[in-house]
A and B are shown apart, each in its own frame.
Chain A
Amino acid sequence: MLHDYAGHDVAALVKRSELVSRILITVAIIGAVGTPLFIWARTPLIHARVAENGGWSPDVIHANANQPFTLHLTSDDVVHGFAVGQMDMQSVDVLPGKVTDITLKIDKPGIYTFFCTRWCGLNHWRMRGTIEVGGSSSAPGPAAVPMYVTLGLDIDAPHEAPVIPINRPSAISGQKLAANLPIDRSIDYYLKHSPYQVFDELSTTSLTESQRWDVVASIWQSNTTPESRANGQQLYTQNCAACHGENGAGNGVFADDLAAAGESSIQTMAGADSMTMQSPVDFTNPIRMLGASPALLQGKILRGGMGTGMPMWGSIFTEEQIWDLIAYLYSFQFDY
């Protein structure tokens, strides 16, 4: 009826072109919707978001022991990083909108923690997930009991040094003084004693107080190496400095935020004394540092908490990494 002006053939032609156009448009729309949806549905990504927005998603990864598996990591907001705890592995950056592939192979079955390695805000350390490695090859051995447990140390108790040095103790001058003293230089002695305890035990000698502190510094130096302290410094910079400060003074970039978070938790939880100390510890403060033994510090780092915002690092650091870190922490007190 419409095309009677033009005759039958033209009408058929118009109709065919109309039909072709409709098919083309429909195919184009379906293609534009379907193709990306299809590929998107088949791309299993692990999304990283700041902890406030959900952290890792998914946050549980399943794998089999001794079988390599590949993870496709992407960040939905800011720069994150990825590493598996206690593996001493090179972390990879997880960049916003980019996909990073990483292939892992874990030998022993067990539950591993993966974590964010680039600071992404106050709650960066909450960005953790687990890799559940299945397999029956070898049952996981019993976990080593940390030293603070075997020693029965209460890591929540105050540990103040009643006496502190007037000048910064020097390991170099201490070395000369210590040469002729009957001192226990074993690693075990170092780990289990606080600097103040050693200082106190040296009271039987004829040394002055400042000389005794120098000797303590030398003992601490001789039980650590420049390499371990350097490694500790690197770990400290990456993991601790944002709160505890680059110079250890407890004044990191998040210190104010933590204090504010502590304040608000006091207001909301009336009488909850345990939440009062959100501010990070000052490692340059000799009263606290000289009263703490390496074993005590290890406990604090392993478990975290202590009524503060201190994260739990036990599932992240290897034992060696923690001792390196502790070796570095004492360099805020001693001149090596």
Chain B
Amino acid sequence: MGSRFFLLLLVMAGLVVAFAPLPVQPIAPLERTFRIEARQFAYSPSEFRVNPGDTVTIQLVSTDVVHGLYIDGYDVSVEADPGQTTALTFVADKAGSFRFRCNVTCGAMHPFMIGKLTVGTNDWLVRSIGLALIAICGFLPLSSFLSNKKSSENR
């Protein structure tokens, strides 16, 4: 009975970690501009961080062939030819970590031309580490419970 309760407790903890909203420190939104250079097959800078609510402008500068920049989750994109800097402005209203990637075929490794935008906290990384910790901490007692159950079934 104790193990059953423990299992329930673990599942509850897991659900909380997986779905509870993360605490947000209120930070006044800013307007931020990033100049991102694109080449075959990388962005520079390839990682940048903003706060939730910021108005973000990305100036995309292509230094070899036509490239694009598409942000997963935000579903916004911009395309730039060499010599023609273009800008993409959006409000970073979704928290978490998002891959941005080239959406204009630019050669062989195009599908892997990837960068990373983090808005506030990378919440799924935090949650997944939390869940992994819960899984490991709860594992020993839980597994003995499982094996007890199994042996009683077999009987």
Do A and B share a direct contact in the complex (Cβ within 8 angstroms)? yes
**B64: shortest Cβ distance to chain A, in Å?**
5
Q: Mark A175-196, 1 if CB is under 8 A from B, else 0.
A: 0000000000000000000000
A243: contacting residue among B64, B81, B83, CB under 8 A: B83
Chain A, interface SS category: loop
Q: Is B104 an interface residue (CB 8 A)?
A: yes
A78: contacting residue among B37, B66, B83, B84, CB under 8 A: B66
Cα separation A240 to B84 with both chains bound (whole Å): 10
| CB atoms of A78 and B82 under 8 A apart | no
Known: A79-B66, A253-B61, A253-B62. A119 touches B82 (CB 8 A): yes
- Residues in B with CB closer than 8 Å to A241 are 83-84
B83: contacting residue among A77, A79, A96, A240, CB under 8 A: A240
Q: Is A136 an interface residue (CB 8 A)?
A: no
Q: Is A68 an interface residue (CB 8 A)?
A: no
- Residues in A with CB closer than 8 Å to B65 are 50, 78-79, 119-121
- Residues in B with CB closer than 8 Å to A252 are 82-83
- Residues in A with CB closer than 8 Å to B81 are 118-119, 238, 242
Cα separation A102 to B105 with both chains bound (whole Å): 21
Cα separation A242 to B80 with both chains bound (whole Å): 11
A119: contacting residue among B66, B105, B107, CB under 8 A: B66
Cα separation A97 to B107 with both chains bound (whole Å): 11
Cα separation A249 to B149 with both chains bound (whole Å): 77
The residue in chain B whose Cβ has the minimal distance to the Cβ of A121 is: B64
**B78: shortest Cβ distance to chain A, in Å?**
14
Q: Is A148 an interface residue (CB 8 A)?
A: no
Q: Is A91 an interface residue (CB 8 A)?
A: no
- Residues in A with CB closer than 8 Å to B105 are 78-79, 95-97
| CB atoms of A120 and B66 under 8 A apart | yes
- Residues in A with CB closer than 8 Å to B107 are 77-78
Q: Is B106 an interface residue (CB 8 A)?
A: yes
Cα separation A120 to B83 with both chains bound (whole Å): 11
- Total number of residue pairs linking A and B with CB closer than 8 Å: 56
Which A233-271 residues have C-beta < 8 A from chain B?
237-238, 240-243, 245-246, 252-254
- Residues in A with CB closer than 8 Å to B106 are 78-79
Which B57-94 residues have C-beta < 8 A from chain A?
61-66, 81-85
| CB atoms of A246 and B66 under 8 A apart | no
- Residues in A with CB closer than 8 Å to B64 are 121-122, 253
Known: A119-B66, A121-B64. A79 touches B104 (CB 8 A): yes
The residue in chain B whose Cβ has the minimal distance to the Cβ of A77 is: B107
Known: A78-B106, A79-B106, A253-B61. A237 touches B83 (CB 8 A): yes
**B110: shortest Cβ distance to chain A, in Å?**
8
The residue in chain A whose Cβ has the minimal distance to the Cβ of B64 is: A121
- Residues in A with CB closer than 8 Å to B104 are 79
- Residues in A with CB closer than 8 Å to B82 are 119, 124, 242, 252-254
**A243: shortest Cβ distance to chain B, in Å?**
7
The residue in chain B whose Cβ has the minimal distance to the Cβ of A252 is: B83
- Residues in B with CB closer than 8 Å to A97 are 105
**A73: shortest Cβ distance to chain B, in Å?**
15
A residues with a Cβ closer than 8 A to B are: 50, 77-79, 95-97, 118-122, 124, 237-238, 240-243, 245-246, 252-254
* In the complex, the 10 A-B pairs of residues with the closest C-beta atoms, listed nearest first: A242-B83, A241-B83, A79-B66, A96-B105, A119-B82, A78-B65, A242-B82, A253-B63, A120-B65, A253-B82
Sampled A-B contacts (15; CB under 8 Å) = A78-B106, A78-B107, A79-B104, A79-B106, A119-B65, A119-B81, A121-B65, A238-B84, A241-B83, A242-B82, A246-B84, A253-B37, A253-B63, A253-B64, A253-B83
